[in-house]
Structure 1
């Protein structure tokens, strides 16, 4: 590992980021590491603390990147950043932040924290209140058909001691390029959060989504099984997460069971953190990012990050299946391993939560750019914000 100067607008000269150089590709290797950059924990930019980066996407029209922070308006307003990321056959170059904007509610105000929301509760109907409620941002995509950002948030399922449960549906929303609200994608009927034992688990909603069919379709995936679909992954036993294909207007074209890996011995939780169309013009094949987080020896957090190729062809449409735990004769999505980050020479990976296609290289390789969430330093220096670049043959 070597140290290189980390270039970002607003950073004082001399601030350093750890850099990892490119790895040579063996003749039959499909994936090679181009490099990694580590952003300083606590980095400030335009009055915000840069952290919690849990989603990334590249605008092919400009070559710029959008990154979303999962700050729930606790440290600053829920927001996104724009950046330049230099990728070449010889490695990953500087990462330069170029802007930031808060996401805004339909009335134009920034999203509140949960504490502020509960201090001034909404008295309207639930759909209207959900649009104004606190958000838990997770993924961001640049609309290939319009100058818009689409972003997902996980909603909430909180039991309070005085006023009953707080129920806020997950959602995929549209925003103008300055963060102004521009509508939302209708939610599949079975993915609403309810007061009972149905719907997404707390903090297990829309971790990832992607455009498919050249932007005509939106494919989303839940991080973990819904409550009615059985328990989360355990050692030796995986679990199904629902993957949904919709039109841009929200009509559900199909829903499928994606098989999440069982836990490894050291992991405490495994789930899907992002999905990406393998071919942006297609609608059947996707890259799916699974990441396990656990406690290793010495009570240090460890991660296990794998990217799979998933194929929907031949899978059972489960949109009308109430519970995957009781369903018989359901054929899940087929998947095969594309890359385990531990095999790339990267060393210790952070909590990788987002991925996007980068530029195609002169070598003919496609680049895949990943981002790891530092949880604003909550995991300590061992799991920082990272930008990682891979090259795929």
Structure 2
């Protein structure tokens, strides 16, 4: 989502600082013991791709990350570009333009990589989820419940729909997170929609309610290896900066809300359970600087997240990236976290 504030917002991820100093401002290295909370620590960050270009395309506006089948990283720009990044250095090695069926650009926000090399991409305009080939060709389009469509077709608000997209372990279940509540639902209650894959095609499946902290939305979700979810919650206050919190969420025992027209706090609706892992404002700043007010200069408009593996102690390696909105007051910044779940 492109924030509608006078300045702009944030996202996060990670880069190997020693490899990227030639491409931009140096990333700051830090030991893994740099704790944000008992469950989360930050290794390092990098601004090396900030305000750069690759093959004539601006490298920014990054809204999602995914690990591709060849081990490289896919980085999605909400200006309709999909980059391939070297997993070690994060340098771009290829870029593909994405469009809809008529050739128009997408407001692309969510990304999931399938084992056959194709990619699922969500756009928050309609909203929609499309399957694209490696060269960007549209191969398929998934059904979307009418209530989740942008008004007047549905009850969603423009620019507040499908932000997060993730495949659950096994690759048969796809989950998309709405960023904010539908009209008629309680404020702060957002819907997570799932699809089940049968014979290569995704069909609508269960839907769940997720309650955000006051004033925050959901810019990204990522399934953990055990089927739970890492959920980013994000907000922005002019003159103060961003709030970014990382939660662990569990779909088990949550109520299927696909048949519930309005979510208004019904006692028989069990939302997804969540546990706070870290408020990223509590991370050490590692020498980072901010171009606008922030509660921690490390923060920016964090919007993309992926899990790149595990370390020797079993902690998840989590890469975040911020969306700079191609704005001089914001930064394309990668953060490398270690998360114990």
TM-score range, shorter chain: 0.7 to 0.9
Contact 1:23 1:345 in 2 (8 A): no
Does residue 225 (structure 1) correspond to residue 225 (structure 2)? The answer is no
Q: How far apart, in 2, do the equivalents of 1:140 and 1:296 lie?
A: 31
Does residue 338 (structure 1) correspond to residue 277 (structure 2)? The answer is yes
Q: Secondary structure at the match of 1:85?
A: coil
Q: CA deviation at 1:50?
A: 1.2
Q: Secondary structure at the match of 2:257?
A: coil
Change (3 A) 1:352 1:342: same
Q: CA RMSD in A?
A: 2.4
Does residue 255 (structure 1) correspond to residue 222 (structure 2)? The answer is no
| Residue of structure 1 in register with 2:95 after alignment | 100
Q: CA deviation at 1:216?
A: 0.4
Per-residue Cα deviation, 1:197-236 (whole angstroms, up to 9, x for no partner): x4211100100010013100101110000112144xxxxx
| Residue of structure 2 in register with 1:314 after alignment | 253
Per-residue Cα deviation, 1:21-67 (whole angstroms, up to 9, x for no partner): 224428993321111111354311101111100100112x3210000
Given candidates 129, 132, 138, the residue that maps to 2:109 is 138
- Which 4+ runs in 1 deviate beyond 6 A? none
Q: CA deviation at 1:343?
A: 2.2
Does residue 275 (structure 1) correspond to residue 275 (structure 2)? The answer is no
Change (3 A) 1:179 1:313: same
Change (3 A) 1:332 1:365: closer
Q: How far apart, in 1, do the equivalents of 2:132 and 2:33 lie?
A: 40
Q: CA deviation at 1:351?
A: 0.6
Q: CA deviation at 1:328?
A: 4.8
Change (3 A) 1:336 1:14: closer
Given candidates 272, 286, 310, the residue that maps to 1:360 is 310
Change (3 A) 1:26 1:46: closer
Q: CA deviation at 1:330?
A: 1.9
Contact 2:234 2:242 in 1 (8 A): yes
Structure 1, unaligned stretches of length 5 or more? 8-12, 72-77, 87-93, 112-133, 156-168, 232-238, 264-269
Per-residue Cα deviation, 1:122-160 (whole angstroms, up to 9, x for no partner): xxxxxxxxxxxx52111111113x1101111001xxxxx
Q: How far apart, in 1, do the equivalents of 2:31 and 2:249 lie?
A: 26
Show the 5 A alignment for 1:123-272. 134-144=105-115, 146-155=116-125, 169-195=126-152, 198-231=154-187, 239-248=188-197, 249-263=201-215, 270-272=216-218
Per-residue Cα deviation, 1:322-375 (whole angstroms, up to 9, x for no partner): 111374532211100112212221442111111111132344432001111000
Q: What TM-score, normalized to structure 2?
A: 0.84
Number of residues of Structure 1 aligned to a counterpart in Structure 2: 310
| Residue of structure 1 in register with 2:86 after alignment | 84
Q: Secondary structure at the match of 1:190?
A: helix
Per-residue Cα deviation, 1:51-84 (whole angstroms, up to 9, x for no partner): 100100112x32100001111xxxxxx2110101
Q: How far apart, in 2, do the equivalents of 1:136 and 1:223 lie?
A: 14
Given candidates 78, 86, 89, the residue that maps to 1:70 is 78
Contact 1:39 1:384 in 2 (8 A): no
Q: How far apart, in 2, do the equivalents of 1:351 and 1:362 lie?
A: 30
Does residue 58 (structure 1) correspond to residue 28 (structure 2)? The answer is no
Q: What TM-score, normalized to structure 1?
A: 0.73
Does residue 377 (structure 1) correspond to residue 327 (structure 2)? The answer is yes
